[in-house]
Structure 1
Amino acid sequence: MKRKDKVFRFFSGLVSMILGTSMVLSVLILINNTSDNLNDVNAKSGSEIKFKRNKQKTQNIVQRPKPKPKPKKSKSRPPTPLLGLNSQLSGVDLGLPEFSMTNLNDLENDLLGSGNGLVMTDDTVDSTPRAVFQQPAMYPVRARARGIQGYVLFSLLIGITGEIEQVKIIESTPEGVFDEAASQSIQAWKFEPAQYKGLPVKTWVKQKIRFDLS
């Protein structure tokens, strides 16, 4: 009887030990599987986060900047119309004497007849100066002996009394041969002055003196 009790106790202890060991192993295996699952979840979540971050960076790179809005053109206001000078000056008394065409004509006549330096040309006057006395030119002896002929062209300023005020040689042929003889002759000429609107005026005219042997 005692022997049976010992055998029963031995097997009971062995079974308890096996069951305890199995439970411990089961708990260890369960803990290990749980940690593996957690690692997988962390790995997946980490990869997803990285992927999302990379995707966000890619979107930031590809996305183009929005164009700036064009500034609105401000409509320019039309210029304020200016009042006519006539309307502004119509009621203003400047205290100046009134001028008429008669006054202007009188002023023009005063200027023309005063001989204060007004000079005209032969193409602007009503009548050009006319020579009333011409001193014959002396033919140079050497030019006559050599059979040389030619002319001298002058520009003359005729005064309001018909006298020659200025003499300019503008052309001579042959040059320098007849200049002196022609100048001495032209200085003695007398003219009737040019007329403009019925009044004598100073006028520039051209006069040519020829030297011919014929």
Structure 2
Amino acid sequence: MLRYLIAIVLAGIITLGLFFLMHSLIASGDTTLDDPAAGKVLDFVRVKQEEQVQQKERKPKKPPKPQEPPPQMEQPQMDAPTPDGGDSGLDFAADLGNDVALDGGLALDSGDGEYVPITKVQAVYPRRALQRGIQGYVVIEFTVNKIGAVTNPIVVEANPQGIFEQAALDAVVKFKYKPRVINGEPTEVSGVQNRITFNLD
């Protein structure tokens, strides 16, 4: 029986507590939620510093003015030829020798001359003769044509025979001559001989 009384009393107390709680919630429901909460808000704004850009004007420097003007060059004085063919100070006369004939035109005797060697190629020593220590010579006869080249080379004499002939012929065909000139025109010269010696130093 006692238990029932205690339970009824507790139930009444809890019921009253819930009633007052519901009343307080209803009473506080009339206020609006739009009002901001009390307090202070700090807003940090970073301000950029003004930058000053310096622009350099690049202009080419003017060259310094010369202190003194350059001296004037004196113009050479030229003696004008006189219209009457008199002496103008310039002598263009050529000294003609006795070997130039003027009969029937200008002769070219002064340009005549014999053939002259310009280039002579050294012969290659044959390997077989070099290994055996053989020495000798070859006499070649040929023709110098109008342009100074060697044509028709032949072996006239060789000592010893059969060793140096080909090397001598190969060298002679590379010779260059100034051709013989007769009456202003180049002429072939035949029967020219050249001795090529093969010695071991």
Q: Which has the higher helix share?
A: 1
TM-score by length of structure 1 reads 0.39
TM-score, normalised relative to structure 2? 0.42
